Chain A
Amino acid sequence: MSDDHVYLTLAEGHEDDTRWAYGTGFEDPLHGVDTAVPEGVDAVALAGECVALADDALVSAQRLAEWVTRAPELEEEVALANIGLDLLGQARLLYSRAGQVDGTGRDEDAYAYFRDASDFRNVRLAELPRGDFAFAVVRLLVLSSWRLAHFRRLGAHPDPVLAAVAAKGVKELTYHRQYAAEWCVRLGDGTDESHRRTRAALDEVAPYLGELHAAYDVRDEVAEDLRQVTEAAGLTLPVYRPLPGSGRAGEHTEHLAPLLTELQGVARAHPEATW
């Protein structure tokens, strides 16, 4: 029957097979972008920046993947997966860029699967355990607000590839921040229990805020986002003492290594395999 042709042609070759990864969309976002490192750009520093931003995204996507089949409502199931997929897509582009410029020629999987926790440069907030839904949306609000402010500046980066990745990411992160902000307000305003849980999530997140700076200091912008949302939610941002140490320097909590063990286990058990 003609309506089954997709099944019947399954064993035939398909030229577009390499495009079957929604994480980066069907369009190559780097199409037409010159991938040579521009003169005057420090390749080592550029690679380091790409890896750090990719690590934030990959570790966040991994935590969001833990929500699959556990979300409070089907709409949230779909939304959290969307955000996870966007971040995974960002991570893949940034790792690929790092491999192009750091002279090693490594591919995205070499960075994701064959580095140890001490080599990861993600901020520690990203690696904290999944927590409840209030923690998920408060963490997402903070991380997306920070990443958005950062990506806006990176849009003018002298490296055209990083600038292109950032420009694409701005649209995605704007939605992530919006989604998180709406839920923070709903939960802060909703019931006594949701209010209590949201306040507890803010308490848990606050000590990690001090870590959120990188090439650009965007802490004031993040603080303003948080002030607006917490005010609308009837909450106040707790006074906190920043934790010493920094994920950007390879100093992590005890939660990163088990996350990576799960992420990397199959790939490392079959180092010669192709997937």
Chain B
Amino acid sequence: MTTTHAAEAPPPDAPDGLQEHFDATIARDQRIEPRDWMPDGYRKTLIRQIAQHAHSEIIGMQPEGEWITRAPSLRRKAILFAKVQDEAGHGLYLYSAAETLGADRDDLTQRLVEGRQKYSSIFNYPTLSFADVGVIGWFVDGAAICNQVPLCRSSYGPYARAMVRICKEESFHQRQGYELLMTMMRGTDAQREMVQDAVNRWWWPSLMMFGPPDDASPNSARSMAWKIKRHSNDELRRRFVDMTVPQAEKLGVTLPDPELRWNEETGHHDFGTPDWDELMRVIKGDGPCNDRRMERRRTAHEDGAWVREAATAHAAKQAARARKGAAA
């Protein structure tokens, strides 16, 4: 895909012309770059979406991070430690992408810890056994990939480029998760039970990761028109189900949906309806772990304040000493 720069195609001076240039860039499937003119709504929508995505990466470290110290082999410990570290890295790229739109990382973090910005509701569920680490890789990273691969073609350049790298790493995590489950399914009865139990608990929340049904998703239409978003929630959800069913069969687990079956006519799977009331409750803060997740993030941020202040003070002293040295 080619990108567009203001230097290559200077926009006309009049604000009307700017809007037209923006619209034409979107229509040509070219990218908007940080210094290009963009409508306020586009900028705000992107900041909100990218920040929410960054927050999700950071809060998403918690459910799996709980198991690093308890991982039952050193190889799994290394894999999980590295995975959770990657999530911190994703958070960093995404906050940087948001900063290209004029947002500030500290301010976004403040919004998160004050509960003024959201993160993915999936991370408000608990991780009860080591099998959850595998199932999160398979389902949650899998659903994230379905959501995010189309974002690699998002109209905003820095976001699209961050997503390319993130998707590559997410794919790796998903394979690692699935491989853990394969290994556990070849192990003891207790391990197989753990895997099935984790599948039962994570399946429906994972389907909810694609968001509310299309007819109840207020912001979707505009985001699709701006090509920030490329596929509807229901479309992506159906794709996730179609891809996951054969993997579940190969693994030897049952997906907990009695309505799940192949439909010859549509060429897709029919499946049950997620409990949308539950999704709304979790989004509004009443999930099983919302308070704990926020508390951990807030505590880390507050406990680290003196460290950040010290780094700033040291940098200022260094600069003052350098000035004094130069003057002498």
Residues of A within 8 A of B (CB): 1, 3-4, 6-8, 10-11, 14, 17, 20-24, 58, 61-62, 65-66, 68-78, 81-82, 84-85, 88-89, 91-92, 95, 108-109, 112-113, 132-133, 185-187, 189-191, 193-194, 197, 262-263, 265-267, 270, 272-275
Contact = CB atoms under 8 A, between A and B. Distances in A.
A262 B70 CA distance: 6
Contact of B68 (A6, A17, A65, A74): A65
What are the 5 A-B residue pairs with the smallest beta carbon separation, nearest first? Answer: A72-B304, A23-B78, A190-B310, A194-B310, A72-B307
A10 B300 contact: no
Tier of interface size on chain B? 35 or more
A78 B188 contact: no
Contacts of A21: 75, 78-79
B304 A267 contact: no
B205 interface: no
A88 B307 contact: no
Interface in B40-64: 58, 61-62
A189 B69 CA distance: 33
A91 B81 CA distance: 15
Interface string B238-251: 01000100110011
A11 B246 contact: yes
B139 to A, nearest CB: 11
Interface stretch (B170-178, B196-204, B255-263, B278-286): B170-178
B77 interface: yes
Nearest to B59: A69
Interface of B: 58, 61-62, 65, 68-79, 81-82, 84-85, 88-89, 91-92, 95, 130, 138, 142, 145-146, 149, 152, 171-172, 174-176, 178-180, 183-184, 186-188, 190-191, 239, 243, 246-247, 250-251, 296-297, 299-300, 303-314, 317
B306 to A, nearest CB: 5
Given A21-B75, A23-B75, A72 B58 contact: no
Given A74-B91, A77-B88, A6 B174 contact: yes
Most buried by A among B81, B95, B250: B81
9 contacts: A6-B171, A10-B178, A22-B79, A71-B300, A74-B88, A95-B74, A113-B73, A273-B188, A275-B184
Given A22-B82, A23-B81, A185-B314, A273 B304 contact: no
B69 A262 contact: yes
Contact of A273 (B178, B190, B303): B190
Contacts of A22: 78-79, 82
Contact of B303 (A7, A70, A262): A70
